[in-house]
Amino acid sequence: MISICIPFHDSPDTARFLSRIMKSIDEQTYKDVEIVLQKKGRMGETYNECIKQSKGDIIKMMGMDDYFYDKNSLQKIADAFKPEVYWLTTACVHDTEGKLTDYHEAKWNDNLYKGYNTVGGFATISIRNKDIPVLDESLDWCLDVDWYLRIYQQHGLPHVLDEAIVIVGIGPHQTTNKLSTEQKDREWEETSKKYGN
């Protein structure tokens, strides 16, 4: 079973975003899924609660503004989880106000902690529901990168699927556009100190 973790928060677009992602889940050919919706607080806290509540063998991370690329997306994720795969990252496409742009090919690099997030956002990640590091709830901007680095330290490199599996919603609602430059810089500095050589 695949647990689809969807943290959400109140915004003028919440109902539209949730309707869109639910429609894309309903259209999937792979039907052995559970949907875990959570509204807890900050992003790290909400994702941690989603993971804690998940009962599936695989956890598929999403955001409320993300949705699946096509009807076979979950099947492709399930097929990619061979016994040796602990976590998976995939390509994605961006949705900017209904326009699909910016194909992003996921790849690992050893400078993630310096701000070169070539892996992608949470929606590109699927992970086995076993021995998952807890997300650092004190972070907002570097939350994903810090988590990826700790998964890597514990379980090794992600398996990379070079195919778009999700569509990532882009817009003013994103955390990217709400945090101050000072907070972003502070979190990158902390992350660099934590993981730098």
**Which burial class, exposed, middle or buried, applies to 122 when counting CB atoms under 10 A from its CB (0-12, 13-18, 19+)?**
buried
Counting the structural domains of the chain, the total is 1
pLDDT digits (tens, 9 = 90+) for 115-167: 789 999 999 999 999 999 999 999 988 899 999 999 999 999 999 999 999 99
What is the rounded CA–CA span in Å between residue 41 and residue 49?
10
CA distances from 135 to 22, 43, 47, 146, 147 (A): 25, 9, 8, 8, 6
Q: Measured between alpha carbons, how far is residue 35 from residues 50, 121, 123, 184 in Å? A: 10, 19, 14, 31
184 CB-contact burial (10 Å; exposed 0-12 / middle 13-18 / buried 19+)? middle
pLDDT of residue 197: 62
Q: For residue range 24-53, what is the model confidence (pLDDT) as tens digits? A: 999 999 999 999 999 878 889 999 999 999
* pTM (two decimals): 0.93
pLDDT of amino acid 108: 95
Tokens of 10: 């109140």
CA angle 20, 61, 37 (to 5 degrees): 60
When pLDDT is averaged across residues 2-23 and rounded to a whole number, the result is 93
Sign of dihedral through CA atoms 142, 172, 167, 164? negative
pLDDT digits (tens, 9 = 90+) for 80-121: 999 999 999 999 999 988 899 889 999 999 889 887 899 999
CB neighbours of residue 127 within 10 Å: 24
Which letter, b or e, does each residue of 142-157 get, where b requires 16 or more Cβ atoms within 10 Å of its Cβ?
bbbbbbbbbbbeebee
Residue matched to tokens 């194909």 = 103
Q: Residue 174 belongs to what domain range?
A: 2-195
Q: Determine the pLDDT at residue 21.
A: 97
| CATH classification at residue 172 | 3.90.550.10
